[in-house]
Amino acid sequence: MNRFAFLILLFSPLLSSAQDNALAEDAFFIRKIYDEALTRSRCYDWLNFLTRRIGGRLAGSPQAAAAVEYTRRVLDSLQLDSVWLQPCTVPHWVRGEKEQARIVNSRKMGTVELNALALGNSVGTGPMGIAAEVVEVKNLDQVDSLGDSLHGKIVFFNGRMDPTQLNTFNAYGKAAGQRVWGASRASRYGAVGVLVRSLTTRLDDIPHTGSTVYEEGITPIPALAISTRDAELLSLLLREESVRVFMRNTSQTLGEAPSFNVIGEIRGSEFPEEIILVGGHLDSWDVGTGAHDDGAGCVHAMEILHLIKRMGYRPKRTIRCVLFMNEENGLRGARAYWKWSDEQGEYHMAAIESDRGGFTPRGFTADGHEDTFNEKFRKAIEWLPLLEPYGLAFRKGGSGADISGLKNQKGLLFGFEPDPQRYFDYHHTPIDGVDVVNQRELELGAASIMSLVYLLDKYGI
């Protein structure tokens, strides 16, 4: 608490005595939130169920349906004012049989199996697979330079995530284009398939999936991620000889399927029309069990309502938990929510998304409509003396994909920001399981979000 005292001192010229009292009361309540979250949270149990008993929850899958039903029941058990399912329609993509990728008859290495995963939305290669010469590129622009020479080839995108970025999400943002747009770009020039280096700063054997998007009008070609170590090997080999790769996947999109966002809320006692949303996305990739991405965000959001109830806190404003469907490969749940919310004439005074894992909290990114953002952000910054003792900071930056479309309602949009160092070790992989989520770190996340919700609710913005 030394640091806290120091901060109060630092900000004291700004405070009247009434403000001093309110500050002390708020500091006390926030301390109670942390005590409660660290001793009586249910979020880790819920995450255990979601991941170990339900598993990966790709939109359209039976597991996604089970996750809808399970979380609805959990929210029901919290005795909220209302719990409902909001329909949406999602693409139903299936991975198919275990992917195959191998270097074929290399002069130096012989035949080498590669650790591969089809990218989400990828078409299949057909049952016989494809084999072709590989051409390495580092980014999308290089594809354009090589142009028609790529005809009949497999394009190997080997862009690296920059390890010197302290915030791994910045490095991810810069490198993700090859995964999202690589297949479309290569297809323009007649390539027959793409291999994409996995998006992680680690060197290991674990492939990372994630969505690829086919631009309209192009011929969709199959796209596989390969592990970073395999990418390094392939790149080394390509310096020495021409390399052929065989790839096979039987992925396909089965059409569309009905699904749901899961929503629970506590109505505000004074300003029920001012909504504070807390959310995550309920779907995950099919490999692994979506523990950090984004089971953690879902159970954070559910835990906020649980904490409010357990602590007997009566919110002035409406606190709504939304578990969005299909963030990973379509954002259909979020779009359905935005449309519905606008049609109702709703006002989201604030929305907080947790979609960066269940690690030790570092703070929140904040975003909003250009007309009102700076003024509102200044107001939020006044709360820093209450949040900094818990290691929390604010910075300007994108909030979360699922809430980004609420910007037109002119509230403040926050992204919960935990420590980012380990997230891309697990992101979109078979090893994203509850065993790599630390219970205390997860609980601290719930407490951090709840602290911000409390301040938003008490003071408005």
Q: Contact positions toward a copy of itself, by CB under 8 A?
A: 2-3, 34-35, 38-39, 163-164, 166, 168, 201-202, 360, 362, 390-391, 393, 395-396, 419, 421-422, 425, 438-441, 444
Torsion of CA 21, 25, 27, 30, to 10 degrees: -160
Q: Are 136 and 186 in contact (CB under 8 A)?
A: no
Query: Of the listed 136, 327, 328, 417, which one is catalytic?
Result: 327
Structure tokens at 162: 């920059």
Nearer to a copy of itself, 16 or 164 (CB): 164
Question: Least Å distance between CB 381 and a copy of itself?
Answer: 10
Torsion of CA 96, 98, 104, 106, to 10 degrees: 140
**What gap in Å lies between CA 418 and CA 356, rounded to an integer?**
7
Nearer to a copy of itself, 37 or 278 (CB): 37
Angle at 277 between CA 275 and CA 282, to 5 degrees: 150
Question: Least Å distance between CB 437 and a copy of itself?
Answer: 11
Structure tokens at 231: 């990418």
Question: Least Å distance between CB 47 and a copy of itself?
Answer: 16
Q: Is 370 noted as a catalytic residue in this protein?
A: no
Amino acid letter at 109?
Answer: M
Question: Least Å distance between CB 221 and a copy of itself?
Answer: 34
3-state class (DSSP) for residue 110: strand
**What gap in Å lies between CA 415 and CA 300, rounded to an integer?**
12
Question: Least Å distance between CB 80 and a copy of itself?
Answer: 26
Nearer to a copy of itself, 171 or 191 (CB): 171
The reply to whether omega before 294 is within 30° of 0 (cis) is: yes
Q: Are 148 and 187 in contact (CB under 8 A)?
A: no
**What gap in Å lies between CA 169 and CA 119, rounded to an integer?**
19
Residues labelled as active-site residues = 327
